[in-house]
Amino acid sequence: MSRICVISPFTGLAGDMLLAALIDAGAPSEAVRAAVADTGLTGWDLAVTSVLTHGLTGCRVVVSVSDDATSRSAGELIAMAGRVRVRAVADMAVAALRAIAEVEGRLHGEDPDRVHLHELGGHDTLVDIVGVAAALHALGVDAVHCEALPIGAGAVRTAHGVLPCPAPATSALLAGARVVGTSLVGETVTPTAAALLRAVGADYGPPPGMRMTATGYGVGSRTLPDRPNVAVVRLGDRESGEVRDLVVLETNLDDVTGEVLGYLVALLLDSGALDSWITPVVMKKGRPGHVLHALAAPEAADGIERRMLVETGTLGVRRTSVRRTALPRTTDTVHVHGMPVRRKHGPHHGKAEYDDTVTVARHTGLPLRTVLALAVESPAVESPAVESPAVESPAVESPAVESPATQSPEEH
């Protein structure tokens, strides 16, 4: 049995809203406060209240500060998060903060550990990130799914001036996430929320079937005229070995170059295919060719089929209904030369995440095969096992403001 958390960012997502929603769904606020206290942060308090907005009752969290430290370096925050005694909570919080540090470092041309965080460096960031990690751990969440994130237009005011929405750091942290446009103006997803989604390995595909156990509503401090400013989490339990009806689309190609074939696989995955692959074949009259395949959910099959037809110029696409049994997979994190490497584990096999090992190899100069071997041999840290529905391929803070250029990215 695995515990799943599905995030519905109704008006957007921010760290405080996600924390409030998890508490509303049953996470004990005492566990959140204890984890934050472990960091050594002083001069703070976390207020948890029930509020009514547009006829909907939810939870709001507010961090009050009594000292004057409004910004810190990324290295300071990472070191503080690493002090949390529950290793799983510490690892998730460190991963989120390191993601912010690396993005900010690239944007400003600085060393990630030395980059000075302004809006992201105060008490709120540490409380929200450590708090969400502690809440997920307390709830026993193994996998996080997130619906498409609404992205607002307009501008946001930062320490570096007025910037377009979403802020550059948020855009970088959302690489690989599913997003949609929204009529709301201003920042609707904050860097803290984006970093948390990355740290937990959030899946943006359709959530698996589950038995609902709880729902939580996290309310932002901003009031919208026509809707509640909330993020919603739904918790549920799923049995192992999910069975799902899917569709395989395929077409024969004998006039497409290898470069185009590689592009097509990536394109179909970006278009919503659960998996895509190529099979070499010998066609009529002895001509070498390839079969382009795509595995898709039935509701996504039409769109992927159209993409195959347009991009390849083929005259036809075959469609076959299949039934897939998906075994659970979990992830943990190890450290290779001080850098985090995620590993995926199924019931019978495990492997390191390719992208993480490439990052380590490039930073250290070690051969990739050496990094892969070190990742396999390293002992696992006690981090939350993030379970996905065995899809074969990859696929704050109160946002939603009414006017552009009126707030800082992490303003609540």
Distance between alpha carbon 286 and the CA centroid of its chain, in Å? 47
SS3 of the chain: the string is: CEEEEEEECCCCECHHHHHHHHHHCCCCHHHHHHHHHHCCCCCEEEEEEEEEECCEEEEEEEEEECCCCCCEEHHHHHHHHCCCCCHHHHHHHHHHHHHHHHHHHHHHCCCCCCCEECHHHCHHHHHHHHHHHHHHHHHCCCEEEECCEEEEECEEEECCEEEECCCHHHHHHCCCCCEEEEEEECCCECHHHHHHHHHCCCECCCCCCCEEEEEEEEECCCCCCCCCCEEEEEEEEECCCEEEEEEEEEEEECCCCHHHHHHHHHHHHHCCCCEEEEEEEECHHHCEEEEEEEEECHHHHHHHHHHHHHHHCCCCCEEEEEEEEECCEEEEEEEECCEEEEEEECCCCEEECHHHHHHHHHHHCCCHHHHHHHHHHCCCCCCCCCCECCCCCCCCCCCCCCCCCCCCCCCC
Q: Is there a contact between 360 and 183 (Cβ–Cβ < 8 Å)?
A: no
| CATH fold of the domain at 242-326 | Alpha-Beta Plaits (3.30.70)
Alpha carbon of 156 to those of 14, 101, 151, 221, 346: distances in Å?
15, 20, 13, 17, 43
Radius of gyration of the chain (CA): 22
> What's the pLDDT at 239?
60
Residues of the chain with pLDDT under 50: 118-121, 382-386, 388-412
Assigned token pair, 207: 């959530």
Q: State the pLDDT at residue 388.
A: 47
Q: Name the nearest CA neighbour of 234 among 25, 53, 385, 1.
A: 25
Q: What is the pLDDT of residues 10-29, one digit of tens each?
A: 999 999 999 999 999 999 99
Instruction: Kindly list the distances between the CA atom of residue 307 and the CA atoms of 159, 270, 379, in Å, as whole numbers in the listed order.
Output: 43, 11, 43
Q: Count the Cβ atoms, other than its own, within 10 Å of residue 104.
A: 23
In this predicted model, what pLDDT tens digit does every residue of 273-331 receive, in sequence order?
Answer: 999 999 999 998 899 999 999 999 999 999 999 999 999 999 999 999 998 877 777 88
The full set of domain ranges for the chain reads 2-238, 242-326, 330-377
Tell me what pLDDT residue 233 has: 98
pLDDT of residue 167: 80
- The Cα 389–Cα 366 span in angstroms is 33
pLDDT score recorded for residue 301: 93
Q: How far apart are CA 121 and CA 100, in angstroms?
A: 10
pLDDT at 410: 38
Q: 339 has which bridge partners?
A: 336
* pTM of the predicted model as reported, rounded to 2 decimal places: 0.60
